[in-house]
Amino acid sequence: MNIALVAHDSKKELMVQFCIAYRGVLSKHRLCATSTTGKLVSDATGLPIQRFLSSAQGGDQQISARIACNEIDLLLFFPDPNTSNTRESNDLNMIRLCVVHNIPLATNIATAEVLIHGLERGDLDWRNIVNPKRK
């Protein structure tokens, strides 16, 4: 599965800790992330991560484009609801695209854990039918 990781600045450490905790599950899948999040997670876990631009430079839009093209199977997105975000419209678009294209989406640690356990059990294998062209 192709898993995208996106985290606002104040949530990057939470994403790193999540990926450390679930390194074993994540290591069986292809990961991509916005630049800083990808670097932090890769440095902490040793996992290979395809890194896009930073969110400020359009990395979240690159991930949105992959969602729209059915190239992402799961999005783990940890936004900070308490911080004003100038890229809020990009965030909402990324979430909207997940809804439109039936991409499982977690926007907090609780949902991320439910999805990662489902991924481990094979509950998300239906994505292989929806997206058979993946390698």
> Catalytic residue positions?
60
Alpha-carbon gap, residue 80 to 84, rounded angstroms: 8
Alpha helices in the chain (DSSP H): 12-21, 23-26, 35-45, 59-68, 88-100, 109-121, 127-130
